[in-house]
Amino acid sequence: TFSSNGLLYEFTRTILDRFCLKILPKIHDKIEFLSLESSSMKRILLLTNYPNLYEIGLYDIATEIAKDLFTDESFFIRTFKNQISSLTIDINKCQDRYSILDSNRFIYTQVFTMFRNLKYFNFGPSSSAYHQLSFGFSPPSVFSSTLLELHILVDSFKDCLYLLDGRFSQLHTFYVTICDVSHRLIKINNEVRYSY
């Protein structure tokens, strides 16, 4: 739950029980957007179906939970892969820097592989180091002909250029934070096409 000042607060057990048992069953078919944090996420998502849900925000999620959530056979992917057009993922912590880079690459790849109708993706709205994406020498070969807006934190300028190499043919809004903008000679085949 978000407060008026934008901070995320967990439901108390009593409030969550009431919300899940009395409120959600009555309104589940009218819900278009869910903003969830890790302690209540699974319970709320598994409780009922959400036929009109198109936007999900997942906040304060541990890396290990996020990886499980975005595996091919997870309930989340099976249920929402054709339904979600807007997705926000906010990871809160990871044990070590190299593990988080691998995990982020996996989650990023899975999002674009699985969510076929994704138009908006925000990977790390808090822009912490836990959301940093690095492709190394070989970016994943994921493409999207539906993505319109991308918010992302990348390790280097090279990673930013990989994202702009034509893999998102409909992308019109791109917000990027680059952690390392050192000037190294790099050659990347960028083929962004513009049409007016």
Strand order in the sheet with 149-156: 33-37, 55-62, 86-93, 120-123, 149-156, 173-180
pLDDT(98) > 80: no
pLDDT(67) > 70: yes
What confidence score (pLDDT) does residue 96 get?
A: 55
Reported pTM = 0.83
Condensed to tens digits (0 to 9), the pLDDT of residues 158-187 reads 888 888 888 899 999 999 988 877 756 555
Q: Mean pLDDT, to the nearest integer, of 14-39?
A: 92
What confidence score (pLDDT) does residue 3 get?
A: 45
Burial of 152 (0-12, 13-18, 19+ CB in 10 A): buried
What confidence score (pLDDT) does residue 2 get?
A: 45
Burial of 37 (0-12, 13-18, 19+ CB in 10 A): buried
For residue 58, CA distances in Å to 36, 41, 158, 179 come to: 5, 8, 28, 23
Element (H, E) at 78: helix 75-80
Euclidean distance between CA atoms 149 and 87, whole angstroms: 11
- Kindly list the structural domains of the chain, giving each domain's residue range(s) and its CATH number in brackets, ordered by start: 13-180 (3.80.10)
Q: Supply 105's token pair.
A: 């690459």
